[in-house]
Amino acid sequence: SFQYGYYWREADDLHAATQHFHGLNRLVTAIVGHSKGAGVVLLYASKYNDVKTVVNISGRYDLKAGIEERLGKNYMERIKEDGFIDVKRPGSSDYRVTLESLLDRLDTNMHGACLQIDTECRVLTVHGSSDTVISVEDAFQFAQILTNHTLHIIEGADHSYTNHQNELASVVVNFIK
């Protein structure tokens, strides 16, 4: 199920998965993440040095941003009072944000983590120019700080790449090759 925070925990879970494949004599050559998963793969690359290609699709650079839009005004007071906020999303699964998960997200420093990514690790950032969930400006922030980085903006694409999935797939596959 979707968890609001716990980015580092998910990076560790991803590491366990890659180690499982290594144990089967399989080589993991790339990891790809979208939205929250994009942040997770970048954190993974900053902590572990065993995958040399990372794809960040619509990742958020500043994890303090976007919270009020998702949780509403006075979210901190509400979560401290009730202990959680339930988020209902039409057409998607609902989830609960706890104070612990919110604080975990607020304490996750993507900027600092990106500075720790090995220069041998190739990073691709793909972002839609019409993404209203995470601004395309986040992609430009990644481009400014990451070394060995390629930025690809898909014109007109929204957060889910609704009408641009073929272009997204092509960009990602060509980068991984």
Q: What is the mean pLDDT of residues 39-48?
A: 98
Portion of the chain with pLDDT greater than 70, in percent? 97
| Both structure tokens of 3 | 């968890």
Please report the pLDDT score of residue 12 as a whole number.
97
Portion of the chain with pLDDT greater than 90, in percent? 87
> Which pLDDT band holds residue 3 (cuts at 50, 70, 90)?
confident
State pLDDT tens for residues 64-113. Answer: 999 998 888 999 999 999 989 988 877 666 888 999 999 999 999 999 99
Q: CA angle 168-57-23, nearest 5°?
A: 100
Q: Does 22 have pLDDT greater than 90?
A: yes
Largest Cα separation within the chain, whole Å, is 50
| Both structure tokens of 20 | 């499982």
Q: What is the overall mean pLDDT for the chain? A: 94
What are the E-state strand segments in the chain?
A: 31-34, 53-57, 84-87, 95-98, 122-128, 149-154
Please report the pLDDT score of residue 4 as a whole number.
85
**Which tops the pLDDT comparison, 70 or 126?**
126
State pLDDT tens for residues 153-173. Answer: 999 999 999 999 999 999 999
Would you say 110 and 137 are in contact if contact means Cβ atoms under 8 Å apart?
no
Q: What is the mean pLDDT of residues 17-26?
A: 97
Please report the pLDDT score of residue 90 as a whole number.
72
Please report the pLDDT score of residue 6 as a whole number.
92
Q: CA angle 107-113-119, nearest 5°?
A: 180
